[in-house]
């Protein structure tokens, strides 16, 4: 019996170490160097500001809308408009929005095949006049310098889409799962450097809380209308931009934009993550899903391995203390990796790191629940509305439907090449005259 137990521990321990090795190997790949990141073009601090249309889709956002719109009204930027596109709120959202902005669109009926947020963004775009289109969530708060900074980033990187990760405010216990869920997202998209490398077309992500497009690029691929049935429109848009235009730039905006996602209740948090976890996997390459899964298996097995190691150490006189040390280090390493990733990205709660294996398990359980719900019922709920999302939007197109205007894309690429050549000629001439 004792021999069988020892054999089990040896085989199980070896398998666990192999799991940890491959998980670490994958993780290190996500934090690789900046080689290949989109080059930076010189843009003067006093650049001519392009006109920006800021579009805020809303539905029952009375808790957030005033803070969001007030911060947008205080932007240190001269040429912009704010458009609120409401989906028929039953609370005071519309009334409150009208005290801040003139353009408030209200449309209660979401057409068949559309997801509510996508429809709201599309209606806002139809009314927009800007050269740039900025889509922000109603639960965001913006510092005065934020728009000026991100417009400059877009111009410097010649980006079709600049998406910003805001600082995540966390106050309630149920929000303590957010760092782990975002950590999982980081594993699946392969790290920000890979996202910002035009040659790595399988690495992409975006935050739907802040998405800044050039209008010509947005129209070239069809905008939200092209992905109208997606419940994870930010990831679908990121994939489309990365694979078709290649000029996607994902940036840390934690000092300039703030948000609090699910403050109301545990149910709101549950529904918010449930609606997007499984659809997100449909837009993620299998290699990245496997890498993230390895890490989560490590995290869930870490306390089991540590407990078994402690037990053996206590009952076996000849059990070497080094095994206990290794098991402890591996347990702490997995948990601290979440802390290191989340540090400065959002508020901390001790629950996240103390009970991280439980949160890892909750993530996997919620992912499984999301998959079963969508595969069996084909439906999901959010804010009291029932949606039948198209899980294939952004992956393949049914009935041969092709939403991208290839001619417009080709012309766009030509225009960009001409623009870059003109800029190079201008810089060469200025250097020559300087001599």
Per residue in 380-435, pLDDT (tens digit) is 998 888 888 888 776 543 333 444 445 555 555 555 555 555 554 554 444 444 44
Instruction: Please give the residue that has the higher pLDDT: either 419 or 54.
Output: 54
For residue 115, what are the CA distances in angstroms to 229, 237, 367, 386, 414? 5, 14, 21, 9, 34
For residue 230, what are the CA distances in angstroms to 142, 148, 188, 234, 388? 26, 30, 19, 9, 9
Question: Which CATH number does 49-266 carry?
Answer: 3.90.550.10
Per residue in 162-171, pLDDT (tens digit) is 999 999 999 8
CA distance 16 to 297: 9
Q: Domain ranges in the chain?
A: 15-28+287-387, 49-266
Per residue in 91-131, pLDDT (tens digit) is 999 999 999 999 999 998 899 999 999 999 999 999 999 99
What was the pLDDT predicted at 92? 96
Beta-carbon neighbour count of residue 343 at 10 Å? 10
Pick left, alpha or beta for residue 134 (phi over 0 → left; psi -120 to 50 → alpha; otherwise beta).
beta
Per residue in 360-391, pLDDT (tens digit) is 999 999 999 999 999 999 999 988 888 888 88
- H helix count then E strand count, the chain: 16, 12
């Amino acid at each position: 019996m004792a021999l069988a137990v020892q054999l089990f521990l040896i085989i199980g321990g070896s398998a666990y170490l192999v799991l940890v090795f491959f998980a670490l190997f994958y993780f290190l790949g996500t934090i690789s160097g900046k080689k290949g990141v989109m080059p930076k073009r010189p843009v003067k601090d006093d650049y001519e500001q392009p006109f920006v249309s800021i579009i805020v889709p809303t539905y029952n956002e009375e808790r957030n809308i005033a803070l969001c719109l007030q911060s947008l009204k205080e932007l240190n930027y001269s040429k912009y408009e704010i458009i609120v596109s409401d989906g028929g709120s039953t609370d005071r959202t519309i009334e409150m929005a009208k005290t801040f902005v003139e353009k408030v669109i209200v449309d209660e009926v979401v057409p068949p095949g559309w997801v509510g947020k996508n429809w709201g963004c599309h209606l806002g775009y139809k009314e927009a006049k800007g050269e740039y289109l900025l889509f922000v969530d109603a639960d965001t708060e913006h510092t005065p310098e934020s728009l000026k900074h991100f417009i400059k980033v877009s111009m410097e990187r010649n980006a079709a889409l600049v998406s910003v990760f805001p600082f995540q405010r966390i106050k309630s216990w149920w929000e303590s799962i957010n760092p782990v869920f975002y950590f999982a997202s980081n594993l699946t998209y392969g790290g920000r450097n890979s996202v910002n490398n035009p040659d790595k077309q399988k690495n992409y992500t975006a935050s739907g809380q802040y998405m800044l497009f050039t209008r010509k690029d947005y129209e070239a691929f069809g905008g939200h209308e092209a992905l109208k049935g997606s419940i994870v429109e930010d990831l679908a848009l990121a994939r489309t931009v990365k694979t078709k235009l290649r000029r996607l730039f994902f940036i840390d905006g934690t000092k300039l934009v703030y948000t609090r996602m699910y403050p109301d209740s545990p149910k709101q948090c549950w529904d918010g993550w449930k609606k997007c976890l499984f659809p997100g996997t449909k837009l993620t390459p299998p290699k990245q899903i496997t890498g993230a899964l390895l890490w989560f298996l490590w995290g869930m097995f870490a306390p089991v391995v540590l407990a078994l190691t402690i037990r053996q150490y206590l009952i076996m006189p000849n059990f070497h203390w080094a095994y206990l040390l290794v098991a402890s280090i591996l347990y702490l390493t997995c948990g601290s990796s979440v802390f290191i990733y989340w540090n400065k990205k959002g508020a901390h709660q001790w629950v996240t790191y103390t009970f991280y294996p439980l949160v890892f398990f909750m993530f996997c359980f919620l992912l499984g629940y999301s998959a079963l719900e969508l595969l069996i019922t084909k439906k999901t709920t959010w804010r009291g509305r029932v949606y039948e999302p198209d899980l294939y939007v952004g992956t393949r197109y049914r009935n041969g439907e092709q939403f991208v205007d290839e001619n417009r894309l080709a012309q766009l690429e030509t225009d960009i090449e001409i623009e870059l050549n003109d800029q190079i000629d201008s810089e060469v001439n200025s250097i020559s005259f300087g001599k």
